[in-house]
Amino acid sequence: MAAFKARHCLSSISRRLWGRASSGSFPQRDSNPPSASALADAGRFYREFSSGTAQELPDDFARYQHHKTPKFSGLPTLLKAPLADTLEGLDIALVGVPFDGGASHPGTRFGPREIRNKSSMLRKIHGSTGVAPFSLCQVADVGDVVIKRPWHGVESAQHEIYDYFRQLCSRGIIPITAGGDHSISYPILRAVAEAAGGPVGLVHLDAHHDTVDLQESEESTGSKYWNGTPFSCALADGLIDPKRTIQIGIRGPMSPGKMLSEDAGMRVVDMEEFYDLGPKKVAHEAREIVGDGPTYITFDVDALDPAYAIGTGSPEDGGLTTLEAQIILRGLRGLHFVGADFVCTSPPWDPTGNTPRVAANMMFEQLCLIAESIHRRRKQ
């Protein structure tokens, strides 16, 4: 459980603490400042966590009510959600996976942190659909997956990522993840598919298929685990149903080698076809393909045109506009979602800071879809 407390840091000790956390509930604001002993306990926890000996959070180490504070204040969290100090009662977990060992261009390890920073601009209610996710479900930022052995290769990191998400999914908590490169989707899908009891449908927005043939990958790179193969691995392990999979936004020059998508039965909508059909028709087809079964959404930022999001290691011209992406996502309302991720945001490649801001907004779209999905299933 210590990994779920990683987001609490010394900067929060210097601010007013809010309420007294109780298991599974979100505390109300407390007008009293924290006691000296509470601050000492908080500092002790941070030191113990840093050395790997921490066991439990001190009682007064509570969440912020972020949507009740000015945008420029408070500890930044994913989508301005409260920080989690327990998994009890949680419906949706917002997770950071700061790992880019599977990418040829490093930088996405900084994605979760900057998406948290840019989340300060978000509000509570969707402006077009009226969905208020924080009113429908218990949502919290549960921190980052801390890769304890980051230099031991992608496969080792994927085991750690899987173990983390298995703790969430086995409790019925739905994850929405900020990456990190696209290799992280494979271990997440392992945990999601296990909890779902079988292969899941997939809505995949990306400039690239990410279904490189595994044998060719091993021959050319020495490994089958990187950001070009997450869905090849998922296919091989029976984690996704290719007949319930659609890939949207595919484009750009391709390397020699075989992609498994169409041979496996996936629906591939490249950008030229997307241009002819339009976002609403593509969203309608996506609904028909994934049907009523459990479905996962994976969104690579390079699905968007670089004019809207340059901060990625593999930008491809001629991509989706942000509005087209939003229309696609909003067209998926009512489906049975079991998880989502937004990957490949690389802040060092975008000095303007716009890409993580776009990422935060697209993740909010995903949050609204999943919160509404949970709410509707509860009412049935």
Q: Is the pLDDT of residue 14 over 80?
A: no
Alpha-carbon distance 5 to 22, whole Å?
15
pLDDT at residue 67 tops 90: no
In the three-class reduction of DSSP (H, G, I as helix; E, B as strand; rest coil), residue 267 is classed as strand
Tokens of 278: 């339009």
Residues in the chain: 380
Domains defined along the chain, listed by start: 2-62 (no CATH), 78-379 (3.40.800.10)
Residue whose structure tokens are 């449908």: 201
Q: What strands lie across the sheet with 92-97, from one edge to the other?
A: 139-144, 92-97, 174-179, 337-343, 295-300, 200-205, 240-250, 267-270
For 181-222, give the DSSP string.
-GGGHHHHHHHHHHHHTS-EEEEEE-SS---B-HHHHHHHHS
Place of tokens 């997956």: 145
Average per-residue pLDDT for the chain: 84
Q: What is the pLDDT of residue 81?
A: 96
Query: CA-to-CA distance for 327 and 281, rounded, in angstroms?
Result: 10
Half-sphere exposure of 331 (CA within 13 A, CB side): 19
Please determine, for residue 186, whether its predicted confidence score (pLDDT) is greater than 70. yes
Question: Cα(first)–Cα(last) distance of the chain, in Å?
Answer: 33
Q: Decide which of 29 and 109 is more confident.
A: 109
Cβ neighbour number for residue 56 with a 10 Å cutoff:
12
CB atoms near residue 94 (< 10 Å)? 28
Percent of the chain scoring above 90 in pLDDT: 65
- 3-7, 273-277, 354-358: which range is least confident on average? 3-7
**pLDDT > 70: what percent of the chain?**
78
Looking at residue 212, its pLDDT comes to 81
Here the tokens at position 309 are 């999001």
What pLDDT is attached to residue 335? Answer: 98
HSE (side-chain half, CA atoms, 13 Å) at 325: 29
Q: How many CB atoms lie within 10 A of CB 4?
A: 25
What is the amino acid identity at position 267? R
Q: What is the pLDDT of residues 303-343, one digit of tens each?
A: 999 999 999 999 999 999 999 999 999 999 999 999 999 99
pTM equals 0.81
Closest CA to 103 of 377, 355, 312: 312
Mean pLDDT of 342-349: 96
* pLDDT per residue as tens digits for the range 139-148: 999 999 998 8
